[in-house]
Amino acid sequence: MYQHHEKQHDKGARSTESPVALRGRTAHSAPSLSKTRGTKSDSYTPHGVGIGLEVWTVDGTERGTITTDGKRQTLTLTPVPLDSASPEVAHNDWLAFSFTPAEGERDSIAQLLAQLASLLGLPCISAVCKGRGWNGYTTRHDLTDGKDVSLGLIASGGKRQRGTIHVELNAHACALVNDFQAFAAWGESLQARITRVDLAHDDLEGQIFTMEKMVDWYRQGEFNCGGRQPSHKVAGDWFVEGSPSGRTLYIGKRVNGKMLRIYEKGKELGDTTSPWVRVELEIHGKNRIIPWESITRPGNYLAGSFKCLNFLSVVQEKIKTITKAVTISYARAVEHARRGVGKLINVMMKVEGGDAFQVISELKRDGYPERLKNYADFLPQAFAGGSA
């Protein structure tokens, strides 16, 4: 089975001023720019064209500011939300941020864990030191809840990290957050900087997003960003029509800080006939400022990321999406159990004279199967109303 790994302006009212030519760009891949706002320019700095101007990508999905350190120019981009979209047409699927603890805080990690637990609605969060570093940090702690479910990680230490602490919260942790307004307010109070956010939209019935349609959109230039066709790559089985293995289309590159991932989520979970397709935007904070507002208005930022996504209107219901995932995962787990121990249960029923309770008592173990572990907190809700 294939598994994938890897704005407050109205778009209709943006500036129509003539394009600005930019010189001295950094080595980072920057989109074509036009549509300036403001007139401030410092003619005394090297490559002084456009310094201090607010600029826009040609497609209007990001705005940027050009600064200089006296040697080279740097373009810093900020995603632009689509105000006409609903914040609820997408949900947060990953969140990473860094911050510098206030001077004098002796046990920053312990305080951070307590605050995170409160925001995630958990009695506590366990942090296990892995005895190794992470991306330049010298210490890594893996985060889990009380049921041994992974929530992400905390990284700290290292001279080059200048005393910062880094937090990564995975999809399961994000699903536990009931109040992203409160989470954003907390993040801003820490003066934390978002380094990555994933915003997702699920088409559970595959009514709009199919892999074939997405390929057609790409070929027709619907994903054009900054006035040119973005790069792409594919993963999974694209040679067999209706393949049960699942496919993924990547648009853009992670290294450039903005990537759209479109994949067959239902097939990834194990339902070989599922029409469920997920559209997921991954934004990184290198040469970008990701506002904390992006997690309170995920639909606006996803819809605004590519013009072909401006139409998004189907509200995302967390319990409905989780129920779908649980239903598929549960059915897959049952099928694995039938193949693995079905014959043994048949024999045991005969040995125990048809006493199913006795057979169950001999086979039952505490805990959850790996496939359902991440949904442990949602199982009662998911099955309360029957199958999705």
In a domain, 219, yes or no: no
Which residue, of 79, 102, 133, is where some domain finishes?
A: 79
In a domain, 92, yes or no: no
Return the structure tokens found at 94.
């990953």
Q: Does the CA dihedral 348-354-355-356 come out positive or negative? A: positive
Return the structure tokens found at 167.
């937090």
* pLDDT value at residue 23: 29
* pLDDT value at residue 49: 44
* pLDDT value at residue 52: 61
Which residues make Cβ contacts (< 8 Å) with residue 348, sequence separation at least 6? 359, 362, 363
Which residue, of 33, 63, 79, is where some domain finishes?
A: 79
Choose among 251, 279, 244: nearest CA to 263.
279
In a domain, 84, yes or no: no
Which residue, of 31, 50, 79, is where some domain finishes?
A: 79
In a domain, 30, yes or no: yes
Cα separation, 194 vs 45, in Å, equals 30
Burial 318-328 (b: 16+ CB within 10 A, else e): eeebbbbbbbb
* pLDDT value at residue 72: 85
The DSSP bridge partners found for residue 34 are 56
In a domain, 338, yes or no: yes
- The whole-number mean pLDDT for each consecutive block of 10 residues of the chain, a chain of 388 residues, reads 38 31 33 36 36 76 86 90 97 97 76 96 93 91 90 92 94 96 97 98 95 95 84 94 92 94 96 96 95 98 96 92 88 86 91 92 84 74 60
pLDDT per residue over 256-309, tens digit each? 999 999 999 999 999 999 999 999 999 999 889 999 999 999 999 999 999 999
Q: Which domain holds residue 28?
A: 11-79
In a domain, 132, yes or no: no
In a domain, 105, yes or no: no
Q: How many domains does the chain have?
A: 2
* pLDDT value at residue 105: 62
C-alpha of 365 from chain center: 34
pLDDT per residue over 78-109, tens digit each? 999 999 999 999 999 999 999 999 876 656 88
Q: Which amino acid is at 263?
A: Y
The DSSP bridge partners found for residue 37 are 54
* pLDDT value at residue 148: 84
Cβ-contact 59, 227 below 8 angstroms: yes
In a domain, 58, yes or no: yes
Return the structure tokens found at 363.
């086979």
